[in-house]
Amino acid sequence: MDKKLIKEINKQLNFELESAHVYLAMQNYFADQSLAGFEHWFNIQYQEEVAHAQKFMNYLNDRGIKVEISGFGNPKNEFNSVLEVLEASLNHEKEVTKRIHNLMDIALDVKDHATVSFLNWYIDEQVEEEANFSELIDQVKRLDGKGLYMLDKELASRVFVPINKE
């Protein structure tokens, strides 16, 4: 495998773990606000990010590459509103999308067809991730206090769906 591509995939899997950390901090903001549905929803988001990292790890392992795990800084723990958390999340996912697209550009550049095929899953997943947060932002913007309570109840039903291990 191309050295630069390996390095960038390794960097991305660490960024997925950092994303998990970002959402874990948000989960605890909601716990503190007694919004149990949002708290649960962000816990699922956290689990998804760990699964995204694991999927990258499995891929590099399958290609005979040793993964390197790195550290990262403290995530943001203080927020002023539900909307602020959701907007920070959407911006975070836009950054992830940019990075995934950059990985795809490199894979195409070095004609690594297996990696192009592998990365397609993440390209599709990012459309979903951005849509999830955009929709939540739209919903929260339309809500009054009672509506937020109802939305919180609804978010409590999100289920973690494991990625099929290939």
Rule CB under 5 A: say whether 52 interacts with Mg ion. yes
Whether residue 126 contacts residue 89, with contact meaning beta carbons closer than 8 Å, is answered with: no
CB of 48 to Mg ion, least distance (A): 7
Q: Near Mg ion by CB under 5 A, which window of 46-54, 61-69, 136-144, 153-161?
A: 46-54
Residue type present at position 104: M
Q: In the range 2-21, which residues lie near Mg ion by CB under 5 A?
A: 16
Q: Near Mg ion by CB under 5 A, which window of 5-13, 49-57, 138-146, 151-159?
A: 49-57
CB of 62 to Mg ion, least distance (A): 19
Q: Near Mg ion by CB under 5 A, which window of 7-15, 52-60, 107-115, 155-163?
A: 52-60
Classify residue 100 by burial, with Cβ atoms within 10 Å: 0-12, 13-18, 19+. Answer: buried
Kindly tell me which of 16 and 152 has the beta carbon lying closer to Mg ion: 16
Kindly state the number of chain residues that form the binding site for Mg ion, as judged by CB under 5 A: 3
CB of 54 to Mg ion, least distance (A): 11
Q: In the range 87-146, which residues lie near Mg ion by CB under 5 A?
A: none
How many C-beta atoms surround the C-beta of residue 12 within 10 A? 20
Residue nearest to Mg ion (CB): 52
Contact residues toward Mg ion (CB under 5 A) are 16, 49, 52
